A and B are shown apart, each in its own frame.
Chain A
Amino acid sequence: MQFRWEWEVFLRDTGGGETYLDWMISAWGWTLTVSACSWVVAVLAGSVVGTLRTTPSAWLGRLANAWVELFRNIPLLVQIFIWYHVIPAIYKPLQEVPSFILVVLALGFFTSARIAEQVRAGILSLPRGQREAGLAMGLTLAQTYRFVLLPMAFRIVIPPLTSESMNIIKNSAVAFAVSISELTMFAMQAQEETSRGIEVYLAVTGLYMATAFAVNRVMAFFEARLRVPGYVGSDH
């Protein structure tokens, strides 16, 4: 079989005054932006929901449970369509909002269900004495969480949070379905326009892998910085 590489494809003009390379780099920027914004939404919502699941209040716990089950049992692509087609039809003001925001909310809430599970597991893995000690010292429940439980729980949660952060980058690919101009969308369109699918896909795949690797290193850095002396995994 004859196959010749044609990497020059990236220097071709897209017809809009920029090269495919320019387009790919801006698409990479979109992937990073969508992922980063979704990460913030996911960590905020996931922490709140995960924490609520460990509080003594039964109905707050049930509410948080419902949140997790709802966002975990519907495929991400369907959730994106719901945010894109259904919610703006029901709540009109969202029709003015750019689809970028809707995708960030979809991916963020989807991921928040997983992070909530990890935060809950992290809090529950702490010895019960920590909570009791906090309350016995006269701290309120909120203060106990703020000063005693959460600082430890978040350190425990970093390793699973790392893999979830890498998942967000991968899952952001689903945004192609609502025409966000991110890497996968670029791959599909550039493949169609240039017929050089192998080169295009290789470059895009390489960017995804490099990004996931970079996220992994950044999280490893934080994990090392935030280690608590005296615990397994700390070398102090």
Chain B
Amino acid sequence: MGALDLSFFNRELITNFLWNGFVFSVELTLVAMAGGILLGTLLALMRLSDRSWIALPAAAYVNTMRSIPLVMVILWFFLLIPFLTGRPMGAEWSAVITFTAFEAAYYSEIMRAGIQSVSRGQVYAGNALGLTYAQTMRLVILPQAFRNMLPVLLSQTIILFQDTSLVYAIGAYDLLRGFSTAGRNFNRPVEAYLLAAVVYFVISFSLSSAVKQLQARIAIAR
């Protein structure tokens, strides 16, 4: 084989191929994280409800999402959204909706564990103070659940960031697509995929090291 030739990796490559993809991957991660945690918290509250007509649909949604490969979920949404709305939707927007809906199922399992980790006395205390259910949840339980689960929520977000590469299946232009397009254009696939691996590794590894430190600090505070 020829030696690795990284000469094509320059400023132009970054601005022409990689930057847009990188921005999209980050946006997709952040939007799906925010939306997923919000929806996931709602799903978790639904699942913990005493009324089965509220709990069962939430459980069914979460279990279905968790038992299907993400790639299939991506394909499903890409097929169904235009079918239901009657107009075509770009791969990027479809990916944003898919990841929000999909990650909500995983975040909801984390939030459910978080809510259950708060002692029952806290609920009684809220009730005794005359707070409504909504107030008890919003002001007493959820802040503690969220704090307890913060490292796990962030770890899930790192997995989410890695999973965004799967939008490859519907041709959305993300970080990986940027690298593979550049590799094809310069006829340097080996170098392009190696660089892609390095970039993903550096981002994921530094984020998970940060989460580990955060975890240690939270553990001491408790």
Contacts and interface: CB of A to CB of B under 8 A. Distances in A.
A77 B189 contact: no
Contacts of A75: 162-163, 165-166, 176, 200
B210 interface: no
A82 B193 contact: yes
A184 B72 contact: yes
* Residue among A72, A73, A171 with most chain B CB within 10 A: A73
B121 to A, nearest CB: 26
Given A81-B196, A171-B69, A176-B71, A70 B201 contact: yes
Contact of B72 (A82, A85, A177, A187): A187
A78 B165 contact: yes
B68 A208 contact: yes
A16 B82 CA distance: 31
Interface residues of B, number: 32
Interface in A165-186: 166, 169-174, 176-177, 184
A78 B193 contact: yes
Contacts, number: 101
Given A78-B176, A205-B76, A73 B196 contact: no
Interface string B63-92: 000011111100110011001001000000
A206 to B, nearest CB: 10
B203 to A, nearest CB: 8
Contacts of B208: 73
B165 A170 contact: no
A73 B162 CA distance: 8
B79 A86 contact: no
B197 interface: yes
A74 B80 CA distance: 30
Interface string A178-218: 00000010011001000001100100110011001100000
Contact of B194 (A82, A170, A198, A204): A82
A174 B180 contact: no
Given A73-B200, A205-B72, 6 more contacts: A72-B204, A73-B201, A78-B165, A78-B196, A82-B194, A201-B72
Interface of A: 1, 69-70, 72-79, 81-82, 85-86, 89-90, 92, 166, 169-174, 176-177, 184, 187-188, 191, 197-198, 201, 204-205, 208-209, 212-213
